[in-house]
């Protein structure tokens, strides 16, 4: 468990350092794009948006199905209630992360 904790700490520090370095780099060097390049990037982002929309909906529907399953499992077999509750919480956590990623992508795309 300690190794997983260290991995998360290192990933967090690396992410923060990367964002700071990226911000400094973007302030130092401004890049201009042609209209053709801008149009190409918009098409690419739109295609990515379509893919993420379907992927997110798929994950949400699968999450609904399995959450209902674990709800029924906990109701039918009382000895499995803790397991079913923990699995449902895990599913909801994953769905929350997927939804946040999708929302961030859409925010960046429409900016």
At what angle are helices 35-76 and 81-110 packed, to 10 degrees? 170
List per-residue pLDDT tens for the chain, 111 residues long: 778 878 878 999 999 999 999 889 888 887 788 888 888 888 888 888 888 888 888 888 999 999 999 889 899 999 999 999 999 999 999 999 999 998 888 888 777
Q: Report d(CA 100, CA 111) in Å as an integer.
A: 16
pTM: 0.64
| 24 Cβ contact list (under 8 Å, min separation 6) | none
């Amino acid at each position: 468990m300690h190794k997983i904790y260290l991995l998360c700490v290192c990933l967090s520090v690396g992410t923060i350092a990367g964002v700071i370095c990226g911000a400094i780099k973007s302030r130092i060097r401004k890049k201009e794009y042609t209209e053709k390049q801008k149009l190409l990037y918009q098409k690419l982002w739109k295609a990515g948006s379509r893919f993420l929309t379907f992927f997110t909906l798929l994950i949400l529907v699968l999450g609904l199905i399995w959450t209902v399953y674990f709800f029924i499992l906990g109701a039918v077999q009382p000895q499995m209630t803790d397991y079913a509750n923990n699995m449902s919480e895990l599913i909801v956590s994953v769905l929350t992360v997927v939804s946040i990623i999708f929302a961030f992508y859409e925010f960046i795309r429409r900016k």
